[in-house]
Amino acid sequence: RKLAEEAAAARPSRPEPRIVDSSVRPEPKPQPTDVAETAEPPPKPRLAKPKPDAAPAAPSAGVLASGGAPAGEQFVLPPLDLLAEPPAIGERAKIEDLRQNALILKETLQDFGIEVEVGDVTKGPTVTLYEFYPAPGVKVEKISSLSNNIALVMKADKVRILTPVPGKGTVGIEVPNTATTTVYLRDILDSPEWRHSKARIPLALGRDIKGHAIIADLAEMPHMLIAGATGSGKTVCVNSILATLLYKFTAEDLRLVLVDPKMVEMQHYNALPHLVVPVVTEAKKVPLALGWVIREMEKRYQIFAKVGVRNITGFNTRERKPVKADATPAQPVKAGAPTEQAELKIEVPRDTDLVVPDKLPYIVVVVDELADLMHTVPVDVEMAIARLTALARAAGIHLIIATQRPSTDVVTGVIKSNIPARCAFQVSSMQDSRVILDSNGAEKLVGKGDFLYLSGSGKLTRAQGVLVTDEEIRRIVDFIGQHAKPRWEPEIHQKLVRRRGAGDADDG
């Protein structure tokens, strides 16, 4: 007994357990006291009066360059007033209820012969995290095996057990809340994390269990994979990412290539001036669109070599020097060429033909459903995605790929190898979770925006995704479309039109 008492006295004292409700107000982050006071306020959106309707402007052929709005139009950023105002903050959970639940969990573990001490309790938007300090000699694997018993005691559909909690010497038990706190896009865009973010391509993904806004940088990822079953929140996540980009970038600084094989999710984006081509809905046209992106990537690298820079950041911030060159557009793929050959016929102009623009925009390619493409044109799509994910980062080209079925025949090893950042919403099986995250856990999510975010650095975070409604998207697109019309790139747009004509002829 004396030796045990001496050993207990020698162990460092544990901090007093904290019980925090972060579901309605974030837990403050430790930061210098002068950050919020000295930071400059975000710039106000640039507003302009609507201009008369005009036909889509046709930019010059060649490399895709940043440029001002056509005559009679003006690029503007949408105001926050277009987004729904978050409702008033509700009542906080009773601290005593959270403490009582922690004691119930402790007693449940003791019933199975596991001695623990209660640690911190943190209530987030979707789940509450209960932390426990295991007694010396306790095997944490034994705690992991009790998830069903714990769910029964807590009257929950499923619980998730963390052994250990990352960065702590505790075991965590995540129990779903009886009511989920909605995370609104306007709330995130008005948060200190968004206003003070230094991300080059910021994405508002949601709030973590401590209530902190998750602002990811697509430029650093540099690509993202999103997966989730029907109703899990995957499509809402894609829409919230696009809305975030529209609030951050005008068509002068960002161009979009949208692929929607389901033909119903992205049609409302066709009025945007950011689009390189109208939303691609036919699977057989996708290799042509991705082939254009590959050609654009190669042109950019030739321009970088000519100017003497390494990436798009260096190019856009370089010292401007006059460069003389003649512009000769690349030869298009012959009309009616087989889809399998379309991507292989990539012709990059000679160095003497290159036109060096003043500035290059970012290009973001969004594929809403990869499974449909992998069943129709698997070889072409897999080859194009693999090439872009491996090489396109420095050129300012980034991919966001979403799928409802994260099986190995859809999310192949070739596709996944160069996409370290993943968002996993609720999936149907442990195998699907392993495909998207390389670990279990996504099968135990509760749905409706609850997701696990695996950052490019390998850190796994549970969070509640941002909600943006179809009506909010419509208002954003209508506002932007009032000031500038679509500016489709003629090179790829003409090829897609020819491909449609050839397909109609074949069908006939």
The pLDDT confidence band at residue 339, using thresholds 50, 70 and 90, is: very low
Domain check: are 339 and 482 in the same one? yes
In this structure, of 50-54, 184-188, 345-349, the range with the lowest mean pLDDT score is 50-54
Helix 286-307 crosses helix 378-391 at what angle (to 10 degrees)? 20
- pLDDT at 360 > cutoff 80: yes
Domain end (from 159, 176, 193): 176
The helix-helix angle for 490-507 and 286-307 (nearest 10°) equals 160
Place of tokens 């619980």: 159
Q: What is the pLDDT of residues 290-302, one digit of tens each?
A: 999 999 999 999 9
Q: Determine, yes or no, domain membership for 72.
A: no
Same domain, yes or no: 443 and 484: yes
Phi/psi at 465 (5° precision): -70, 160
Same domain, 150 and 253: no
Q: Are 186 and 247 in contact (CB under 8 A)?
A: no
Of 120, 244, 249, 251, whose CA–CA distance to 174 is shortest? 120
Three-class HEC string of 437-473: HCCCCHHHCCCCCEEEEECCCCCEEEEEEEECCHHHH
Domain that holds residue 118: 2-22+92-176
Please tell me whether residue 143 adopts helix, strand or coil conformation: helix
> Residue 272 domain-assigned?
yes
Look at strands 224-227 and 397-403 and give their pairing.
Answer: parallel
Question: Same domain, yes or no, for 170 and 187?
Answer: no
**Number of domains composing the chain:** 2
Question: Does any domain span residue 471?
Answer: yes
Residue 348 has pLDDT above 60, yes or no: no
3-class SS at 366?
strand
Domain contains 204: yes
- Mean of pLDDT values over 351-364: 85
Ramachandran sector of residue 268 (left: φ over 0; alpha: ψ -120 to 50; beta: rest):
alpha
Q: What is the pLDDT of residue 76?
A: 84
Task: Say if residues 206 and 224 touch (Cβ distance below 8 Å).
Answer: no
What is the SS3 assignment for 259? strand
Q: Give yes or no: residues 154 and 258 share one domain.
A: no
State residue 60's pLDDT score.
Answer: 42
Helix pair 470-483, 234-248: axis angle to 10 deg: 30
* Segment (H or E) for 36: helix 35-38
Same domain, 203 and 171: no
pLDDT at position 91: 55
Are 190 and 148 within one domain?
no
**CATH code for position 319:** 3.40.50.300
β pairing state of 450-454 and 421-425: antiparallel
Task: Please report, rounded to a whole number, the percentage of residues in the chain having pLDDT higher than 90.
Answer: 64
Integer angstrom CA distances of residue 60 from 87, 330, 334: 47, 12, 20
Q: What is the pLDDT of residue 456?
A: 79
Tokens of 368: 């809403």
> Do 460 and 166 meet the contact criterion of CB atoms below 8 Å apart?
yes
Q: How far is the C-alpha of 254 from the C-alpha of 259, rounded, in Å?
A: 16
Domain CATH code at residue 156:
3.30.980.40
Which backbone phi and psi does 29 adopt, to 5 degrees? -85, 140
217 and 325 inside one domain: yes
DSSP letter for 169, please: S
- The letter for the amino acid at 5 is E
Predicted confidence (pLDDT) per residue in 224-254, tens digit: 999 999 989 999 999 999 999 999 999 999 9
Is 256 within a domain? yes
- Residue pair 222/400 in contact by the 8 Å Cβ criterion: no
Residue 90, number of CB atoms within 10 A of its CB: 10
State whether 488 and 382 are in the same domain.
Answer: yes
Domain end (from 176, 201, 235): 176
Token pair for 457: 């650095």
Q: Which amino acid is present at 18?
A: R
User: Are residues 191 and 258 located together in one domain of the fold?
Assistant: yes
In a domain, 225, yes or no: yes
Distances (CA, A) of 492 to 2, 194, 236, 332: 81, 35, 29, 8
Residue range 107-160, pLDDT digits in tens: 999 999 999 999 999 999 999 999 999 999 999 899 999 999 999 999 999 999
Same-domain check for residues 237 and 376: yes
Rounded Cα distance, 287 and 324, in Å: 33
Start-to-end C-alpha separation, the chain: 91
- Spatial separation of the C-alpha atoms in residues 373 and 284, rounded to whole Å: 8
Compute the distance between CA of residue 57 and CA of residue 70 in angstroms, rounded to an integer. Answer: 7
pLDDT (tens digit, 9 = 90+) per residue, 370-384? 999 999 999 999 999
pLDDT-based confidence at residue 57 (cuts at 50, 70, 90): very low
Q: How far apart are CA 432 and CA 87, in angstroms?
A: 35
Decide if 258 is inside a domain: yes
How far apart CA 393 and CA 423 sit, in angstroms, is 19
Same domain, 229 and 251: yes
Domain endpoint, select from 131, 159, 176: 176
